[in-house]
Amino acid sequence: MAGHNALVRKFKQFNGSPPAHTRGRPDDRERSVKLFAEVQKIYRECSPAAAKEMCRLALEAEDERVRSVCAGMVMERAWGKVKDYDPDKEAPKKAPPFDPQLYTTDELRRMQEVMMMIARRQGLVPEEDEAVELAVQESRGE
């Protein structure tokens, strides 16, 4: 890890792009790409140790604020960012409006028969025999 800070300082000088007076020079671009790759390699080599330290701090840090921030970072890296609540996703989908003009008379009659069958099975409408008896009783005044 010798020279780690010097390497980071060199990389920060470029900050992603070389100084204005050196722009366009291929050797400077290549050098910045090499520096970036070298810094990235160092960070990747240290990432397991950094992850362990982050977990340790999340569980054992004396300061509650440090524990809170570290715990959030550990959870986010382990499980991904929390998705924002979208009430539209939970809202029931509206059924498209029924347009009877799209159907023939015969198709509409079949739909009515099916809907009546469903209503009878669910007990929303009495069976036909019961309906006739009820109508007769009502007409007699019973």
pTM over cut 0.75: no
The CA-based dihedral angle spanning residues 117, 122, 125, 127, taken in that order and rounded to the nearest 10 degrees: 60
Report whether pLDDT(11) > 80: no
Which DSSP state fits 91?
S
Asked if pLDDT for residue 5 goes beyond 70, the answer is: no
CB 7 within 8 A of CB 35: yes
Q: How far is CA 47 from CA 33, 40, 117, in A?
A: 21, 10, 65
